């Protein structure tokens, strides 16, 4: 279990590091490098639109890699997603700007961002299944926390890497816009090599091996995605809605607030990036505690608590930020990520528990990707557009609306804590998945 926990955590850290450095760059430099003709405000909107492209690709990635993850295996599929993410990220780091190659620059950027979305769409489910399918039932929430710790570690690494580059080239230097932002993208190639080494050392899960043997013995069955929509469309859509607030909060915190802190609050890049590292620590603690605690009281209760807290906090966030101090930015960022983390901790076990082995990779990954597309793909763009009106309170109302939707969807979901992975697979044919 230690090896599995390490492999799942290292893998998601590297994948999400690659994913997040794009968000940081989209907030700090992409409007100037790839959209210089649009001006500051429109360039920022366009930059976050390319950021959102990955969320459109994530459901497709969940379907494609989920299919192979359910048919070929978790391990082989995870190696593929890691390679795809690493190659796309490296190519972004060496991509010339709009002043060099014109309109080809943003078009290529969008294509590479799409590949990032495909990769991360297939990554999360495989990493969590690796942990959840190995873990004992009474400790599944604890062990499934380790792949969930990848995003906060990745966010801290992304912020720290940009911070080091910023310190080296100077706050006012043009070098950051010229080549400094490229360093985190190019350096990610080294992390990918580490991730590949760790993942190659891990064996396929016993649960999948048993399912694969049964499938070969009984003959081929329908495609995993067909089975998901045929057997569990209700749980798929409700799970996507239940996690929409989580993604809206996360990408507002990791991407939009980075832009808001520098452009609106007037904070330096160094301050915003340093506070991002501190916020990631709070984020990681919230994930670890909530995921572990869900083994005691259930996944559903923990997620409901997060949704309830998110609604009033949404209305408080921007009045706090509008005091324009570093402390206000830290409180706003940390609380936003902590609320998201309370939901994020339990779902590493919750989503795999919802679906049987024969289409678990596809089902869990698709629910996660739907939530990411609805919450993470729309919230930063809507926030950027609403901010142009000068009324930040509307952004808070939007966030509160995500909280209400997720609360209602979570209430409608069943508790999954006591489900055993093999039992779900064996009894799925005889009884309703929501009972």
> pLDDT for 319-368, tens place per residue?
999 888 999 999 999 999 999 999 999 999 999 999 988 889 899 989 98
Q: State how far Cα 435 lies from the chain centre.
A: 29
**Other C-beta atoms lying within 10 Å of the C-beta of residue 364:** 30
Q: How many domains does the chain have?
A: 1
Confidence at 399, pLDDT banded by 50, 70, 90: very high
Quick: pLDDT tens for 292-310. Answer: 999 999 999 999 999 999 9
* Contact call for residues 50 and 30 (beta carbons, < 8 A): yes
CA–CA distance, 130 with 135 (Å, rounded to integer): 9
Q: For residue 129, give its domain range.
A: 2-203+223-425
pLDDT score at 171: 66
Residue 309 located in a structural domain? yes
CATH number of the domain bearing residue 59: 1.20.1250.20
Taking CA 366 as the corner, what is the angle to CA 374 and CA 112, rounded to the nearest 5 degrees? Answer: 70
pTM listed for this prediction: 0.81
pLDDT score at 426: 43
Q: What is the mean pLDDT of the chain?
A: 85
Residue 54 located in a structural domain? yes
Residue 30 located in a structural domain? yes
Residue 430 located in a structural domain? no
Residue 52 located in a structural domain? yes
Residue 107 located in a structural domain? yes
Give the 3-state secondary structure of residue 335.
Answer: helix
Q: State how far Cα 147 lies from the chain centre.
A: 11
pLDDT score at 241: 93
pLDDT score at 215: 63
427 pLDDT above the threshold of 90: no
pLDDT score at 121: 84
Residue 215 located in a structural domain? no
Quick: pLDDT tens for 180-198. Answer: 889 889 988 888 888 888 8
Quick: pLDDT tens for 53-63. Answer: 887 888 898 88
**Most confident region among 203-207, 378-382, 414-418 by mean pLDDT:** 414-418
Residue 210 located in a structural domain? no
Give the 3-state secondary structure of residue 185.
Answer: helix
């Amino acid at each position: 279990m230690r090896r599995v926990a390490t492999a799942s955590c290292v893998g998601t850290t590297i994948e999400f590091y690659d994913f997040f450095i794009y968000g940081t760059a989209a907030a700090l430099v992409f409007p100037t490098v790839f959209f210089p003709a649009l001006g500051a405000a429109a360039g920022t909107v366009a930059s976050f639109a390319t950021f959102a492209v990955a969320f459109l690709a994530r459901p497709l990635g969940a379907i494609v890699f989920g299919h192979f993850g359910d048919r070929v295996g978790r391990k082989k599929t995870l190696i593929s997603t890691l390679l795809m993410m690493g190659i796309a990220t490296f190519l972004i780091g060496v991509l010339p700007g709009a002043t060099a190659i014109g309109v080809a620059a943003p078009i290529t950027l969008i294509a590479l961002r799409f590949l990032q979305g495909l990769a991360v769409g297939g990554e999360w489910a495989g990493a969590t299944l690796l942990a959840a399918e190995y873990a004992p039932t009474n400790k599944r929430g604890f062990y499934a926390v380790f792949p969930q710790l990848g995003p906060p570690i990745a966010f801290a690494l992304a912020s720290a890497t940009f911070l080091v580059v910023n310190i080296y080239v100077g706050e006012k230097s043009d070098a950051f816009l010229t080549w400094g932002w490229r360093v985190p993208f190019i350096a990610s190639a080294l992390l990918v090599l580490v991730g590949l080494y760790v993942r190659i050392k891990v064996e396929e899960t016993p649960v999948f091996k048993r399912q694969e043997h049964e499938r070969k013995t009984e003959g081929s069955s329908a495609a995993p995605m067909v089975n998901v929509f045929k057997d569990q469309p209700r749980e798929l859509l409700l799970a996507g809605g239940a996690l929409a607030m989580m993604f809206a909060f996360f990408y507002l915190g990791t991407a939009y607030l980075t832009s808001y802190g520098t452009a609106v609050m007037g904070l330096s890049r160094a301050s915003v990036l340093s506070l991002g590292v501190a916020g990631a620590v709070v984020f990681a603690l919230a994930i670890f505690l909530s995921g572990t605690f869900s083994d005691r009281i259930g996944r559903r209760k923990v997620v409901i608590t997060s949704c309830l807290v998110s609604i009033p906090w949404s209305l408080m966030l921007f009045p706090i930020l509008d005091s324009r101090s570093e402390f206000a930015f830290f409180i706003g960022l940390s609380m936003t990520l902590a609320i998201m983390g309370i939901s994020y901790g339990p779902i590493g076990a919750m989503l795999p528990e919802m679906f049987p082995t024969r289409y678990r990779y596809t089902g869990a990954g698709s629910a996660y990707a739907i939530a990411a597309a609805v919450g993470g793909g729309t919230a930063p763009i809507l926030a950027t557009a609403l901010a142009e009106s000068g009324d930040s309170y509307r952004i808070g109302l939007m966030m509160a609306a995500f909280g209400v939707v997720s609360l209602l969807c979570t209430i409608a979901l069943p508790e999954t804590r006591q489900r055993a992975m093999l039992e779900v697979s064996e009894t799925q044919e005889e009884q309703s998945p929501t009972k």
